[in-house]
Structure formats: C-alpha cells, structure tokens
Amino acid sequence: MSKSTIKNDIAKIKSEIQKWYDELKQLNQEKSSYEMQIKELEMMPVNRTDFGVLLKESIAQEASNYTKNIAQSLLQPEFVDKEMQEKYNGFKAMNERSLKDFEWCKNNQRFEWLFNAFRSHKNLITPSNSTETRQMLYWLIPDVVYEKNHAYYQC
C-alpha cells in the first residue's frame, strides 16, 4: 500500500464519520423538535368533551379494581392454611361457608344483616378508607358519579 492510498482511505473514513456526525446532529435536532411538540401537547388544556371521556375511563378503571376486590373477598380465604380456616371459620372464602355463617345472630335475635356477617378480609360494604369508598361508589353508581362530576366541571 502506498501513502496516497492510505491517505485516501483515511480521508474516506473521515468523510463517512463526518456524514454520521451530521446525520446524528440532524436527528438530535428532530428529536428536540418532537420533544417540544410533545411538551406543548401535554400542557394544552383538556376540552370538556375529552375530559368527559377521561372521566368515564377513570370511573370504569376504579370500578374494575373494586370488582377484583369483590372476587378476592368472595372466593379467596384470608388464611391459606386449612387449619387456620377451620379455627377461624368466619375467614373462609364465601363460597366455602355454610348457610349458618350467613345467618349470623346473637341469642337467636338477628342483629346484623347479611352483608355485615361477611366478615371477610376485604370489607366490601363498609370500606375502611377513601379509596375503597370511591371504588365502591364507582362500582355501584358509575353513571351518577359521572353525571355529578361532569356537571360540576361544565361550569
């Protein structure tokens, strides 16, 4: 190989590297432009129609979470250990309990109604925190929750 061939090869390599550098610079400029457009879109206010769609989707998701809690409460025992389930009969899965468990009474006088007798590890009827309460409302009356919220935000 001659010196001129090596110099030509090095020049070609430098030229290719410069092309790649220019292409990378162009791609970074395009990326910055797209990032700015995304940021502008993210900062745009949501119109009422779109907000209504988002609200409905959010209500449906929260209701779905509550449905999962119901299924877990009704079909899964609090204790996996069968011995513990026998010892604490009230903590069996709902579909494994006897009818007597659901007719829970004291001195032959009914003082609790059916749902309070559930005594499950997920309290479905009297939620213990605001998230469970919200999920329960979304599950029970999603249309009412939507209409009240949507009407409020129409002002």
Question: Does position 37 have pLDDT exceeding 90, yes or no?
Answer: yes
Q: Specify whether 96 is located in the same domain as 127.
A: yes
| Beta-carbon contacts of residue 97 (< 8 Å; ≥ 6 apart) | 89
Q: Specify whether 2 is located in the same domain as 28.
A: yes
Greater confidence (56 vs 3) lies with: 56
What are the pLDDT digits (tens) for 88-98? 655 667 677 67
Q: Which residue range forms the structural domain that includes residue 19? A: 1-44
Q: Specify whether 33 is located in the same domain as 61.
A: no
| Beta-carbon contacts of residue 46 (< 8 Å; ≥ 6 apart) | 54
Question: What's the pLDDT at 36?
Answer: 97
Total number of domains in the chain:
2
pTM value is 0.52
What number of other Cβ atoms are within 10 A of residue 46's Cβ? Answer: 11
Q: Specify whether 104 is located in the same domain as 29.
A: no
Question: Does position 138 have pLDDT exceeding 50, yes or no?
Answer: yes
C-alpha 93/C-alpha 75 separation (Å) is 5
